[in-house]
Chain A
Amino acid sequence: MTVVLIITIYPFIQVIAISFNDATDTVRGGIHLWPRKFTLNNYKEIFSSNTRIVTGFMVSVARTVIGTIIGIICTAMLAYTISRKDYVFRKPITILFVITMYVSGGMIPEYMVIKGLGLIGHFSVYIWPMILSGFNIIVLRSFIDNLPYELQESAKIDGANDFTIFYKIIFPLCLPVIATVALFLAVGQWNSWFDTYLYCRSNDALTTLQYELMKVIDNAAAGVKAADVNSQGIKQVTSNPESIKMAITVVTTIPIVCVYPFLQRYFVSGMTIGAVKS
């Protein structure tokens, strides 16, 4: 396990080491575990180069928190209904959502739908399109499937309706898998930047951290298109040093990595269903 530990953490350590290394020196390569010329300049550079980073951070946190909470509630509710073997629309709804995992209308039609709904330039464009995913629903449903059905039966006999059963019995029992889904949703929300670019770029108050930093990285990766090989545009590009890119990786990753330990307790401690039953 310790070997696995070292192997898996190595890339991350290298990223951190490079992010603290002098940008010009980094070009010479050979930095593995520790910076050669220590500096904080790369981080200073990121925060000074872009004035919208602080608002961006707030927007990112807001969309992650709100998006995850709404996402969990919606996913769990729907997953419960299609876990019920007796539900008349179980099969059509399941199929409807499974298919969405493998089809896409493409960017332009999706944009037109969002535009038609009047969501462009509005915060809710970060939330609604992302609340559900076929994958999360199925994962949650398969977990509910594994729970003993007697729990629901006995509740029903006690006169509970389907919503109460979901809210009082199923939801609490699903916490480990809900923590998983929450993690997927949170990471998805946190990491997405393309929707900002598409829908909210002209509203400075709504741009996200990832989007702002993406622009910095982009500046470095500029012109990675063969078609433009010869154009003047490329010649003007001043490529952004490796170290800055790594510092950006660190800045964007640390907050979301911090979420995990909070969710972890749901995985580590096992549960006794019998205890819930009584």
Chain B
Amino acid sequence: MKTNNNTDKKYYKASFSQKLKEQKYLIAMSAPFVIWVLVFKYAPLVGWLMAFQDYKPAKGILGSKWVGLKHFITLFKEEQFYQALTNTLGMSILAIIFGTMCSITFAILLNEMRGVKYKRIVQTVSYLPHFVSWVVVANIVGQLLSPNGIVNELLVNAHLLKTPINFLAVPNMFWGVVTTSDIWKETGWNAIIYLAAITGIDMQLYEAAKVDGANRWQQIWNITLPSIRGTIIILLIMNIGGLVNIGFEKQYLLGNNIVAEKSLVLDKYILDYGIGMMRYSYGTAIGIFKSVVSIVLIWFANNLAKKTGEGQLI
């Protein structure tokens, strides 16, 4: 940031048209993509109009009846919607906190490992589970947590439990089960990005620290972490924006009828009660709600980051 001050001042003096002229390369390099985004990402948003209609495919967006905020009102009166919202936020927040922590820790540990070959093996293996579908993972989790599964056996043998528990039948444990499974599956994959950020750190910094006699722990704390702080914060902001975009696959596959009240998430609700029932307008209304929440959250998180100083999104 500091280094930019001079250039910033210089450009302030120049007039807008002068700047445009000076930045013709930058403009040429970004203009096609602005057109791209407008065409591929913003043009389809015309579909949002459906939320304010009783959309019938036969009549199209132009011919369907306008109903104003009817679908939003229905939505906000729906008990299940609040249940889904609570579950979504609960599981997302757990995922952000523990998922981020695990990924960063894992990336740093990996970076600290000596022995290039072993390091490579660990890294490749750790990202494999990302490619295994949730169906498979959910099955394994189910077996591990069943009353006669390994987890119960260990806990009973260690006298932590008197009788085995069917973990998957306890609604209050469901969020935990999902979060743990998610961490298991995705930590290696999510660590890649932090690993890339760590790789970008100037080696001279470490050499200087070594000269000063810093041990490895101090190096991590004083060099590695501060250097990737920008990346961490940016990813956090983006994740906060995505709090309500949780998907539903894992919750659906790990869940069952007993824990339904804790496993229902927004995306599943949209699928079941919107698109699945051909209620396009209703589904779109929830989609818009989600988008608005995301954008408010991201704006909020970004401003917070701005105040604390380091790494902001916009």
Contact = CB atoms under 8 A, between A and B. Distances in A.
A138 B47 contact: no
Of the candidates B106, B113, B314, the one having the most CB atoms from chain A within 10 angstroms of its own CB is B314
A74 interface: yes
Interface string B1-22: 0011001100100001001100
Interface string B111-147: 0010010011111111111011101110010000000
Contact of A14 (B140, B290, B313): B140
Contacts of A15: 132, 136
B73 interface: no
B203 A1 contact: no
Contact of A102 (B125, B136, B137, B242): B242
Given A14-B140, A81-B26, A1 B20 contact: no
A101 B203 CA distance: 34
Contacts, number: 238
A153 interface: yes
B116 A268 contact: yes
Nearest to A252: B131
Interface residues of B: mostly helix, strand, loop or mixed?
helix
B308 to A, nearest CB: 16
A271 B33 contact: no
Contacts of B67: none
Contact of B287 (A4, A89, A106, A227): A106
A114 to B, nearest CB: 9
A42 B39 CA distance: 44
Interface stretch (A49-57, A90-98, A195-203, A229-237): A90-98
Nearest to A142: B234
Contacts of A14: 136, 140
B304 to A, nearest CB: 16
A80 interface: yes
A263 B44 CA distance: 35
A107 to B, nearest CB: 9
A261 B124 contact: yes
Contacts of A106: 44, 47, 50, 280, 283-284, 287
A101 B242 contact: yes
Interface string B26-47: 1111100110110111111111
B175 to A, nearest CB: 21
Interface stretch (A59-67, A174-182, A204-212): A174-182
B66 interface: no
Contacts of A249: 131-133, 136
Interface in A84-117: 84-89, 91, 93-106, 108-110, 112-113, 117
B131 A257 contact: yes
A75 B153 CA distance: 50
- Sort chain A's interface into a size bin: 35 or more
A274 B204 contact: yes
Given A11-B136, A15-B136, A108 B47 contact: yes
A88 B20 contact: yes
Contact of A270 (B20, B136, B201, B287): B201
Nearest to B120: A264
A260 B127 contact: yes
B219 to A, nearest CB: 12
B49 to A, nearest CB: 9
Nearest to A103: B291
A182 B232 CA distance: 20
A240 to B, nearest CB: 13
Nearest to B144: A10
A103 to B, nearest CB: 5
Interface of A: 1, 4-5, 7-12, 14-15, 74, 77-78, 80-82, 84-89, 91, 93-106, 108-110, 112-113, 117, 128-129, 131-132, 135, 138-139, 142-143, 145-150, 153, 161-163, 166, 176-177, 179-180, 183, 227, 245-246, 249, 253, 256-257, 260-261, 264, 266-274
List 8 A-B pairs, minimum CB-CB distance, nearest first. A105-B44, A109-B47, A102-B294, A162-B25, A109-B44, A105-B47, A176-B199, A81-B30
